[in-house]
């Protein structure tokens, strides 16, 4: 397995932060280009014991929260660092405008294990220390970054009411010179690893619902073939290699089936099969192009792109096949539909003039909100908590990834130092055992 | 290998020449050709001027229409323009005459829009050429239409001068 670790520099532009010095080793640079109008003021105290490790946990937690655009990080410089709730002087933190304070101790355990004892304190109370959350997180020196992301997830959920998505991973394709790499990285761009490399194109990576496998399309046999790769073992198997093209894989929510697009009958039509390629069944039936299937979270429907009406538009059909319903009517080019995690809306790419932009449509009302103002947006992918949409775009001729909050207010740009990044896929939320 | 072969041909031609002395040379010759032959009994220095004709494949001969392989399309279109029909007809006839020959029809699209939709659009382009070849006598098992979508651009720039080169079907013979 190839493990690439490129230098990065991480700029936080929109927010003045106390935590400017991040550990700079990852493939992706993340830059915020907007923020929520109301940001929650929160303080992350340095964790006691964190100085013994190269990754400073409190800084990782603060960076996660800042990147979401929903938090204002309060400077902890000059404040006494509480080693436990009994040492928290609530009034001092309240005076700094803080609504909540995170404190933690890293405690060594037998056998090289670690325990991160974390507490989130309500600092709006005047006289008493009220704990919003308290967890003892077992971990190890190599898993500390993951633990930090889990703490950020807990803080995010306690203070916004929505689950966090920091302890997730993203997959994407890089192109450097003639080489295409399928990479997997943490949601903050760190720990980027190449899981498949080829001198022929790779497109359309999608995560299995359990996060253990990636399906993708590779051209290393001079035509598009769908593969499924186990991330832990690196083993890959062919999921679809029939005459013609094999592309656009999508997992069913139970992880048992994949939908694929085949041209075995001459033109692009949607089929489903088991993940190993057995049990093939044709689902769509048109004389034109049917492609880009995407399963609803409840497994009942498939969204897809079809030109059956004369221009590419988004349709929905039952996941066992059957009569489709057209969903998009504005404009002559609506493609790449992706259900939101709650199944109530979908993200897609809409062309206006010569501009391709990320939009979201409510399924019931049909109302459309265009979220971006770029020229060449592609491949939207929802964060598993439904709060952000990651997509590919082009800036000055270079492929970069961007993310936009589902209300359009917060924007992030993710790029590599060299080459193009494209085809992002945000991985599922894997609940940590707490 | 080729040089040995050519040397043998030259040697045999010359020896044939030398072994045929004029038998009825009773009259007075104007030219004494046998003398000339005898002065060139070292054949190693000679070369034929042209290689054997049959080694040039009609598929590679730049003068043959079969060496033309690309069909270009308008934006969002998969209609084959009439200017490409003679070329496609020649390939159809070649495939019908050479049942062991196999081709890939490789469809391509410009970079605008969805990568997956462009795979399907490239496939429609490749399929349009495949259907024409089929009508012209090529067998199903001799052909496979595939698409690279926007993934393998021939020209890379964000404007029509490049895009027009990338909306294309290529006819590629197996083994090429």
Domain boundaries, given as residue ranges, for chain A: 3-160, 169-426
List pLDDT tens digits, range B70-79.
999 999 899 9
Strands B70-72 and B168-173: antiparallel
Secondary structure class of A159 (helix, strand, coil): helix
d(CA A102, CA A150): 13
By the 8 A CB rule, do A418 and A27 touch?
A: no
CB contact under 8 A, B116 and A336: yes
d(CA B149, CA B106): 9
**Under-50 pLDDT residues of chain B:** 1-4, 6-29, 32-40
Look at residue A408 and tell me whether its pLDDT is greater than 60.
yes
Q: Which of B117, B124, B151 is opposite residue A267, by nearest beta carbon?
A: B124
Q: Which of A263, A292, A376 is opposite residue B145, by nearest beta carbon?
A: A263
d(CA A339, CA A363): 9
- The pLDDT assigned to A5 comes to 32
**What is the H or E stretch that residue A261 is in?**
strand A257-262
Look at residue A412 and tell me whether its pLDDT is greater than 60.
yes
CB contact under 8 A, A223 and B104: yes
A residues 224-243 near B, CB within 8 Å?
Answer: 224, 243
By the 8 A CB rule, do A292 and A347 touch?
A: no
List pLDDT tens digits, range A37-89.
788 999 999 999 999 999 999 999 999 999 888 999 999 998 988 888 888 88
Taking all residues of chain A, what is their mean pLDDT, rounded to a whole number? 89
Q: In the 8-state DSSP scheme, what is residue A166? A: T
By the 8 A CB rule, do A85 and A103 touch?
A: yes
Q: Tell me which chain B residue has its CA closest to the CA of residue A351.
A: B113
- The pLDDT assigned to B169 comes to 98
Cβ-based interface (< 8 Å): residues of B facing A: 104, 111-117, 119-121, 123-124, 127, 144-149, 151-152, 158
CATH fold of A169-426, please?
A: Neuraminidase (2.120.10)
- The pTM score is 0.84
Q: Tell me which chain A residue has its CA closest to the CA of residue B125.
A: A267
By the 8 A CB rule, do A192 and A28 touch?
A: yes
A164 burial type by CB count under 10 A (0-12 exposed, 13-18 middle, 19+ buried): buried
Q: Residue B56 — left, alpha, or beta (φ > 0 → left; ψ -120 to 50 → alpha)? A: beta
Q: For residues A280 and B25, which has the higher predicted lDDT (pLDDT)? A: A280
Q: Which of B117, B124, B146 is opposite residue A312, by nearest beta carbon?
A: B117
By the 8 A CB rule, do A216 and A206 touch?
A: yes
Report the residue count for chain A. Answer: 434
Phi, psi of B40 (to 5 degrees): -115, 55
Residue A48: count of CB within 10 angstroms of its CB: 17
CATH fold of A3-160, please?
A: Rossmann fold (3.40.50)
- The pLDDT assigned to B18 comes to 40
**Chain A interface disruption, residue of B107, B117, B147, most A CBs within 10 A:** B117
CB contact under 8 A, B113 and A333: yes
Phi, psi of B97 (to 5 degrees): -80, -20
Q: Which of A268, A394, A397 is opposite residue B123, by nearest beta carbon?
A: A268
Q: Which of A244, A248, A305 is opposite residue B145, by nearest beta carbon?
A: A244
| Buried/exposed A310-329: b ≥16 CB within 10 Å, e otherwise | eebbbbbbebebeebeebbe
Q: Which residues pair with A352 in a beta bridge?
A: A355
Residue A256: count of CB within 10 angstroms of its CB: 14
Mean pLDDT of A133-141: 92
């Amino acid at each position: 397995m190839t493990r690439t670790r490129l230098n990065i520099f991480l700029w936080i532009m929109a927010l003045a932060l106390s935590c400017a010095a991040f550990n700079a080793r990852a493939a992706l640079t993340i830059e915020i280009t907007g923020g929520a109008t109301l940001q929650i003021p929160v303080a992350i105290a340095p964790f006691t014991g964190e100085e013994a490790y190269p990754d400073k946990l409190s800084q990782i937690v603060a960076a996660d929260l800042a990147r979401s655009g929903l938090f204002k990080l309060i400077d902890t410089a000059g404040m006494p660092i509480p080693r436990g709730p009994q040492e928290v002087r609530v009034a001092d933190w309240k005076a700094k405008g803080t609504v909540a304070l995170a404190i933690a101790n890293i405690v060594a355990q037998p056998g090289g294990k670690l325990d991160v004892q974390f507490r989130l304190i309500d600092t709006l109370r005047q006289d008493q220390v009220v704990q919003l959350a308290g967890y003892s997180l077992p971990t190890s020196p190599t898993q500390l970054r993951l633990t930090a992301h889990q703490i950020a997830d807990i803080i995010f959920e306690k203070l916004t009411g929505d689950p966090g998505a920091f302890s997730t991973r993203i997959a994407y394709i890089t192109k450097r010179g003639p080489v295409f790499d399928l990479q997997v990285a943490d949601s903050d761009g760190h720990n980027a690893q190449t899981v498949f490399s080829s001198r022929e194109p790779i497109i359309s990576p999608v995560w299995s619902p359990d996060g253990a496998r990636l399906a993708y399309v590779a051209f290393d046999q001079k035509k598009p073939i769908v593969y499924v790769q186990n991330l832990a073992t690196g083993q890959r198997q062919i999921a679809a290699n029939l005459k013609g093209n094999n592309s656009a894989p999508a997992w069913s929510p139970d992880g048992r089936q994949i939908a694929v697009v085949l041209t075995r009958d001459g033109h692009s039509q949607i089929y489903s099969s088991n993940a190993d390629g057995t049990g093939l069944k044709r689902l769509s039936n048109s004389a034109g192009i049917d492609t880009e299937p995407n399963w609803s979270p409840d497994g009942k429907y498939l969204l897809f792109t079809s030109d059956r009406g004369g221009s590419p538009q988004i349709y929905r059909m039952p996941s066992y096949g059957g009569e489709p319903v057209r969903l998009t009517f504005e404009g002559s080019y609506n493609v790449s539909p992706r259900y939101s995690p709650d199944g109530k809306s979908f993200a897609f790419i809409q062309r206006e003039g010569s501009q391709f932009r990320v939009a979201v449509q409510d399924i019931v009302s049909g109302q459309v909100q265009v979220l971006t103002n770029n020229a060449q947006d592609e491949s939207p992918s929802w964060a598993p908590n439904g709060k952000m949409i990651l997509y590919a775009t082009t800036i000055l001729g270079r492929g970069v990834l961007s993310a936009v909050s589902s209300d359009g207010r917060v924007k992030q740009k993710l790029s590599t130092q060299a080459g193009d990044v494209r085809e992002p896929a945000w991985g599922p939320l894997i609940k940590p055992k707490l | 290998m080729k040089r040995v072969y050519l040397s043998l041909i030259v040697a045999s031609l010359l020896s044939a020449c030398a072994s045929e002395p004029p038998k009825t040379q009773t009259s007075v010759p104007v030219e004494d050709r046998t003398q000339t032959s005898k002065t060139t009994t070292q054949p190693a220095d000679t070369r034929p001027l042209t290689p054997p004709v049959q080694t040039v494949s009609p598929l590679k001969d730049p003068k043959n229409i079969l060496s033309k392989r690309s069909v270009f399309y308008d934006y969002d279109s998969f209609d084959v323009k009439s200017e490409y029909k003679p070329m496609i007809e020649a390939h159809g006839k070649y495939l019908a005459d050479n049942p062991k020959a196999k081709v890939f029809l490789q469809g391509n699209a410009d970079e605008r829009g969805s990568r997956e939709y462009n795979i399907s659009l490239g496939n429609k382009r490749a399929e349009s050429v495949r259907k024409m070849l089929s009508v012209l006598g090529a067998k199903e098992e001799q052909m496979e239409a595939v698409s690279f979508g926007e993934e393998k651009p021939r020209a890379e720039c964000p404007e029509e001068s490049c895009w027009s080169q990338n909306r294309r079907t290529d006819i590629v013979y197996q083994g090429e």
